[in-house]
A = this chain, B = another copy of it.
Amino acid sequence: MPRADRTKPRGGQGDKRQALLTGALTVFARDGYTRASIDMIADEAGVSTRTLYNHFQDKARLFQAVIEESASRVAEAQTALLDRHLRKVTNLETDLIELALAWGTPMPDSAEHFALVRQVNAEAGHIPAPAIKAWREAGPLRVRRELARHLRRLADEGLLRVEDPERAALHFTRLVSVPGPHDGGLTLTRKERAEHVASGVRVFLYGYGR
């Protein structure tokens, strides 16, 4: 189902381009780079393959554009979450739990994003090094650094005991990230997710709490 079918709202440039980006995200995330065909992407975007090639040089560059924009968008959302939950902390444990819950709560398209992340990790050997580097910087590394910044500040305020904020950030994300259908097995109920997250935060605080 095309996105823009309401009487051609505007021919303004960037309209079809955005449709292409989100359509390509869907298809790339579902099928991976090689399986995803140009025709499927164009169909998903409600666009002809020719316009696709008018906006992007080739499949590889389209893919790079997609992963970078997806990484940026999600990183933006996640750093916003960090700010919201860690800017002023009242009860550290409950705030961390709420952060981790919001973190792992499946937003509408975050599922697509993380599926795409798995594709990127698998495809990394076939993506030019600068592109993966840019992707990491715009996405996961940026978020981790931001989390590290917050943790260092909380340590300065005497709420945590942190030697290496970067490593602490890595430990936190690893402890609270919930196993999706891929990693561990089935999808979890809300209650199970909450338990999992709470126990992860507890272990984190045993290690880094004051």
Copies in the complex: 2
A200 at the interface (CB under 8 A from B): yes
Within A78-114, which residues are at the interface with B (CB < 8 Å)?
none
- Give the size of the chain A interface in residues (CB under 8 angstroms): 38
Q: Given that A121-B122, A174-B174, A199-B164 are known contacts, is A185 also in contact with B32, CB under 8 Å in the complex?
A: no
| Least CB distance, A162 to chain B, in whole angstroms | 11
Q: How close is A69's CB to chain B, nearest CB, in angstroms?
A: 20
0/1 per residue, A178-210, Cβ < 8 Å to B?
A: 010111110000000000100110111011100
Closest CB of chain B to A147's CB: distance in Å? 14
**Among A121, A136, A185: residue with most chain B CB under 10 A:** A121
Give the segment of A2-10, A55-63, A123-131, A149-157 that binds chain B: A123-131
- 9 closest cross-chain pairs (CB), A and B: A203-B207, A122-B122, A34-B34, A206-B207, A174-B174, A206-B206, A118-B122, A121-B182, A119-B122
